[in-house]
Amino acid sequence: MWIKTVYLEGFQGEAFSKLFKIVDVLVAQNELEKAVLEFGISIRMFYDQPRQRELLVAKALKLTDELQDAPLAESIHIAQKMAQARFEGQA
């Protein structure tokens, strides 16, 4: 059981790192909307990791502020609410 848990934590950390690389590339290409959408997908994927999710939400909302895109910001808030509800349903 311990080995499986360590492996999963390592995998999730690797996935988290890869996500930021993808987003960095999108931002460098000035594809901010796509970067925010990647964050939205990831927020729902990391539903069981509230601390990581908060980081994703903060970074996504920073991008939506730069874009001045309220509907896109709302999509991030909705993704966060959905992830939190799923997380609380497992507890």
Q: Where are the alpha helices (DSSP H) in the chain?
A: 2-28, 32-45, 50-67, 70-90
| pLDDT digits 0-9 by tens, 25-51 | 999 999 999 999 999 999 999 999 998
DSSP 69: -
What are the residue ranges spanned by the domains of the chain?
2-90
Q: Identify the residue with better confidence: 1 or 61.
A: 61
Per residue in 6-31, pLDDT tens?
333 444 677 778 888 888 899 999 99
Q: What is the CA radius of gyration of the chain?
A: 14
pLDDT of residue 12: 63
Above 50 in pLDDT, residue 84?
yes
CA-CA-CA-CA torsion sign (25, 31, 33, 37): negative
Rounded (10°) CA dihedral 10, 13, 14, 17: -160
